[in-house]
Amino acid sequence: MVAPGLINDLSLIEGLQEAIDKGIVCSNYIDPEYTWECLKSFKGGVALFTQPATPIKCGGAPQKIMYLAADYIRKKGLSEKSKVIFATPGSVIFGVPQIAKTLTGVLNRYQVDFKPTHTLVKIDAGDKTAYFTCKMPVKNDQSEHYEDVIAIPFDFMHLAPPQTAPEFIKKSKLVNETGWLEVDINSLQHKKHPTIFGLGDVAGLLTAKTGAAIRKQVPVVVDNILKMIKGKVADNKSYQGYSSCPLVTGYGKMVLAEFNYKNEFTPDPKLKMMLISDSSKEHWRLWLLKKYMLPYLYWNKLMKGEDV
């Protein structure tokens, strides 16, 4: 069973290592305490948030810090002298329509300048400027695009670093053309080596890399391994790409995005026990779930392999 997770690779963006070393940019993926220090010292200007074109662990995290920062900026009375920008390689704020609708409202509430199809390629630490390639529509023809380079000066910048499979995995014969473990998306069995299974962030699956996803993957892998031990076929293909992103949208507010390979919204029926009828909408009870219940479940149940 192969489950080594993933690693940050700062070399994939020009100038990123220097910007991190000099403290010009911050990242919750590297040092969340430094992010908080940068935010507390922010006195106004451009607050830039972004994420890479590579898959990342917890794909909603770059948005969560942006929403919390925007709420903090508003509480500090800095909204009028600040501009919050979210630049992302994606074309939409979220792939699940119900969640995207809610998050669009959140972006509007904080007056966030949302910049889709923007891929970070370079950071100039000296000038505090980020450079993005972006797809621009050809004049009078929205169906055709050309690629341009956009420079965005910033006063505060948070990013999720590019992430890849560990080097020993990338150099092995187990990966697909994009460098992730090549497994069947439903059984988690390797496509070329049937005695190998993979799960977690290293697996080449078309879903978000989250702990919630692993929780649904593990029972499938265990069942298939037990079947093979007994000389049976590993025919459990029940993993349908479930993943979950708890999207904190402000102090005391959260949206819970649960979805599958088809980007279908698949909320847990147990949420009704918390009197939550629609987890695609912001709710203070979801925030309580995130702040208190999920950490407890993680450390006391999931890490011990207990069912939740």
Q: What is the pLDDT of residues 84-103, one digit of tens each?
A: 999 999 999 999 999 999 99
Percent pLDDT > 70 in the chain is 97
In this predicted structure, the answer to whether residue 113 has a pLDDT above a threshold of 80 is yes
Classified by CATH at the fold level, domain 7-163 comes out as FAD/NAD(P)-binding domain (3.50.50)
Residues 260, 171, 183, CA angle at the centre, nearest 5°? 25
What pLDDT is stored for residue 143 in this prediction? Answer: 67
Local confidence band at 141 (pLDDT 50, 70, 90 cut-offs): low
pLDDT digits (tens, 9 = 90+) for 204-244: 999 999 999 999 999 999 999 999 999 999 999 999 999 99
Marked catalytic residue, from 26, 38, 58, 134: 58
Q: Does the pLDDT value for residue 137 go beyond 80?
A: no
Kindly indicate the confidence band of residue 108, based on its pLDDT and cuts at 50, 70 and 90. Answer: very high
Q: Taking 70 as the threshold, does the pLDDT of residue 270 lie above it?
A: yes
Give residue limits of the domains in the chain. 7-163, 165-308
Q: What is the pLDDT of residue 142?
A: 63
Nearest by Cα to 298 from 225, 236, 238, 246: 246
Residue 60 has pLDDT above 90, yes or no: yes
245 included as an active-site residue: yes
Residue 136: pLDDT band with limits 50, 70, 90: confident
User: What's the whole-number mean pLDDT along residues 154-168?
Assistant: 98
Q: What is the pTM of this model?
A: 0.94
pLDDT reported for residue 305 = 79
